[in-house]
Amino acid sequence: MIPPQDPPFTPWPTALAEHYRQAGYWRGLPFPHWLAALAERFGEATALVCGERRWSYRQLQHHADTLATGLWRLGLRPGQRVVIQLPNIAEFFALFFALLRLGVQPVVALPAHRRAEIGAFCRHAEAVAYLIPDRHAGFDYRQLAREVMAEAPSVAQVVVVGEAEEFTPFSSLPGTAAVEWPTSEAETVAFYQLSGGSTGLPKLIPRTHDDYLYSVRASAEICRLSPHTVYLCVLPVSHNFPLSSPGSLGVWERGGTVVLCNTPAPADAFALIERERVTFTALVPSLVSTWIEARSHSQHDLSSLALIQVGGAAFPVALAAQVAPTFGCRLQQVFGMAEGLVNYTRLDDPEEVILTTQGRPISADDEIAIVDDDDQPVAPGSEGHLLTRGPYTLRGYFRAASHNARAFTQHGFYRTGDRVRLTATGNLQVVGRAKDQINRGGEKVAAEEVEGHLLYHPAVADVAIVAMPDPYLGERSCAFVVPGSAPLPRRHEVARYLRERGLAEYKIPDRIEAIASLPLTAVGKVDKAALRRLLDPAPIAAATHGSPLANPRSYPSP
Ligand code: OOB
């Protein structure tokens, strides 16, 4: 049996949990049993395509089992946590399911994360191992692993897919020794998603077997997936959107095929769509722009595409309207969060709903409240803060008691930080955000985290980071800096400084502005709305570094 959970996991209240079971949402099925049932049911069908490799459902399960044996031999034990940071390659799933088989809880990082993020995840989760590629998109993850090990003493093992150097090669793991697998309880934590965050500290989102698999099953139903579905996974494989909404897991739930695309270039994605007769994919809005632009000079046959999902960031109506005509397929908007709640427009919704709203929740038991600053419900149709609770929305972050006190109401509603309105058709429209975050083409930047790093710079006396509108990414970030005694550093110097501190590239401010002092609100907080008003509305070009999409080294993520 798996040892008891860390007390900081906040379970659902007993009565609600019972209701979710009675309603058939939670089925008591842990991931390893789920995968075994799929292998039984869909056996020789193709589950996964990665380059020239094709794994059947049975092979996927076999890889997971043999790897679990190897991880056990390496000393991994149930209840431990492991940070996994892999790009869109088959080994991600083999290792993810192997860890779940062992009852070890993966913490799924994004390939773009660097020392500051990975070090913080490893320390916070007390991770015992770190699983990486050798190199990806020009970056050497083994060097990162050395730095992480130096600052996260719990990390005793590093497993490398590829050239391992001093670490454990992935290729040495598979074993056949019979190991008595532990039984995971379906209502316990299966793995941790990462929060987009709005504070300086990393936050881990516990996802249970029961709650996650419910969201996967219901999403696959809403999207009408079938054994004929061929899904192109082009967003980072571990992110909640391409993993479970319905994503790779939803495709497997229905016996379909997942095709992994490991580069952000539209030409590569188009070639895979043509070769594999892809029917379905998920994109962020900035990637939609890139694809539409690339489509005009591409000869690829994309006629197999039946559905494109778009989510992760605000999606302008004018852009949404171009999807169906350009790709000859249906559009679905998705408004979700790694914390749980996912909304979809439905496939048979009127065009107006699909183009202008972000849909409605998965579950009849997703409770939605739209409230004012005093937590009072707003008038129907008015804008307000979105609060939610339900059968797959977390009740508390991992080991974050004081943050949890603010992030949830006393009745267990999660404060999403999003501002929404409910339309007359019963759909949500995301109209803005109250959380102190920049949504940079779907990549979430917590302002406070970056401000915290910048305050260490000797020339920075004070700093505040705000979002500025961007025609391509939706938003970019601008740092207003109150210079200290030294002159204000130039943007590339700031970028170099933040890189040296180990911050992911997408968090580096796109623009730096000097300001004599930061404006304050009546209650003495930095007035970010006033700072946003100071920004030149003209799009900035020369001052910025490349977008994650234009830059082949990094990936867009929702
Ligand atoms: C998805 O998950 P996260 O955790 O990276 O980010 C969640 C946040 C939301 O709270 C919201 O602020 C923003 O991303 N967001 C959207 C949006 N979808 C997400 N803002 C406007 N319009 C949308 N359609 O991004 C995510 C997780 C599962 C499915 C889809 C997206």
CATH of the domain at 104: 3.40.50.980
Ligand 1, from 281, 337, 394, 438: best to mutate by most atoms within 8 Å of Cβ? 337
**16-39 average pLDDT score:** 98
Ligand 1 center to 327 CA (angstroms): 23
Domain enclosing residue 550, as ranges: 445-556
Query: CA–CA separation, 96 vs 190, rounded Å?
Result: 10
What's 465's domain CATH number?
3.30.300.30
Query: CA–CA separation, 181 vs 425, rounded Å?
Result: 49
Structure tokens at 373: 């600053």
Confidence of residue 550 (pLDDT cuts 50, 70, 90): very low
Question: Which residues' Cβ are closer than 6 Å to ligand 1?
Answer: 196, 240-241, 245, 311-315, 333-338, 342, 358, 416, 418, 430, 433, 439, 444, 558
Structure tokens at 479: 């740092």
CB atoms within 10 A of CB 96: 26
**322-350 average pLDDT score:** 98
Query: CA–CA separation, 385 vs 375, rounded Å?
Result: 8
Map residue 478 onto helix, strand or coil: strand
Element (H, E) at 486: none
Flag whether pLDDT at 556 surpasses 50.
Answer: no
Flag whether pLDDT at 498 surpasses 60.
Answer: yes
Q: Which ligand 1 atom minimizes the distance to the CA of 282?
A: 30
The reply to whether 9 falls in a domain is no
The reply to whether 131 falls in a domain is yes
Report the percentage of the chain scoring pLDDT > 70: 94
Structure tokens at 10: 């906040």
The reply to whether 418 falls in a domain is no
The reply to whether 545 falls in a domain is yes
Q: Which of 134, 156, 184 delimits the end of a domain?
A: 184
Q: Which ligand 1 atom minimizes the distance to the CA of 557?
A: 5
Query: CA–CA separation, 249 vs 267, rounded Å?
Result: 25
Tell me the per-residue pLDDT of 82-105, one tens digit each, with 9 for 90 and over.
999 999 999 999 999 999 999 999
**496-514 average pLDDT score:** 97
Query: CA–CA separation, 335 vs 235, rounded Å?
Result: 15
Q: What DSSP string describes 104-121?
A: -EEEE--TT--HHHHHHH
Closest CA to 482 of 519, 440, 511: 519
Ligand 1 center to 414 CA (angstroms): 14
Ligand 1: residue whose CA is nearest its atom 10: 337
77 vs 181 pLDDT, higher one: 77
Q: Which of 137, 153, 184 delimits the end of a domain?
A: 184
Looking at residue 558, what is its pLDDT?
Answer: 61
Tell me the whole-structure pTM to 2 decimals.
0.95
Rounded to 10°, the helix 491-500/447-454 angle is 100
The reply to whether 139 falls in a domain is yes
Query: CA–CA separation, 444 vs 314, rounded Å?
Result: 12
One-letter amino acid of 436: D
Ligand 1: residue whose CA is nearest its atom 16: 313
One-letter amino acid of 434: A
Tell me the per-residue pLDDT of 413-429, one tens digit each, with 9 for 90 and over.
999 999 999 999 999 99
Looking at residue 238, what is its pLDDT?
Answer: 98
Looking at residue 242, what is its pLDDT?
Answer: 98
Ligand 1: residue whose CA is nearest its atom 14: 312
- Scored b (16 or more CB within 10 A) or e, 442-477 reads bbbbbbbbbbbbbeebebbebbbbbbbebeebbbbb
Query: CA–CA separation, 199 vs 207, rounded Å?
Result: 21
Q: Which ligand 1 atom minimizes the distance to the CA of 433?
A: 12
Confidence of residue 542 (pLDDT cuts 50, 70, 90): very low
Ligand 1, from 335, 388, 429: best to mutate by most atoms within 8 Å of Cβ? 335
Ligand 1: residue whose CA is nearest its atom 9: 337
Ligand 1 center to 273 CA (angstroms): 25
Q: Which of 143, 159, 184 delimits the end of a domain?
A: 184
Task: State how far Cα 285 lies from the chain centre.
Answer: 15
Closest CA to 246 of 135, 138, 332, 318: 332
Query: CA–CA separation, 548 vs 480, rounded Å?
Result: 22
Query: CA–CA separation, 107 vs 195, rounded Å?
Result: 11
Do 229 and 257 touch, CB atoms closer than 8 A? yes
The reply to whether 176 falls in a domain is yes
Flag whether pLDDT at 349 surpasses 60.
Answer: yes
**134-162 average pLDDT score:** 98
The reply to whether 551 falls in a domain is yes
Domain count, the chain: 2
Flag whether pLDDT at 552 surpasses 50.
Answer: no
Ligand 1 center to 114 CA (angstroms): 22
CB hemisphere CA count around 480 (13 angstroms): 21
Q: Of 66-70, 487-491, 535-539, where does mean pLDDT reach its minimum?
A: 535-539
- Neighbouring residues of 165: CB distance < 8 A, sequence distance ≥ 6: 134, 142
Structure tokens at 235: 């967003």
Confidence of residue 182 (pLDDT cuts 50, 70, 90): confident
Do 353 and 345 touch, CB atoms closer than 8 A? yes
Query: CA–CA separation, 99 vs 84, rounded Å?
Result: 10
Looking at residue 546, what is its pLDDT?
Answer: 32
* DSSP single-letter state for residue 506: G
Query: CA–CA separation, 342 vs 240, rounded Å?
Result: 10
Torsion of the alpha carbons at 35, 39, 45 and 48, rounded to the nearest 10: 30
Q: Of 80-84, 351-355, 482-486, where does mean pLDDT reach its minimum?
A: 482-486
The reply to whether 429 falls in a domain is no
Phi, psi of 429 (to 5 degrees): -120, 130
Ligand 1: residue whose CA is nearest its atom 19: 312
Ligand 1 center to 385 CA (angstroms): 15
Do 305 and 276 touch, CB atoms closer than 8 A? no
Residue with tokens 């990393």: 202
Q: Which ligand 1 atom minimizes the distance to the CA of 310?
A: 24
**167-188 average pLDDT score:** 88
Do 55 and 88 touch, CB atoms closer than 8 A? no
Flag whether pLDDT at 492 surpasses 50.
Answer: yes
Element (H, E) at 165: none
Query: CA–CA separation, 320 vs 468, rounded Å?
Result: 21
Ligand 1 center to 54 CA (angstroms): 31
CB atoms within 10 A of CB 411: 11
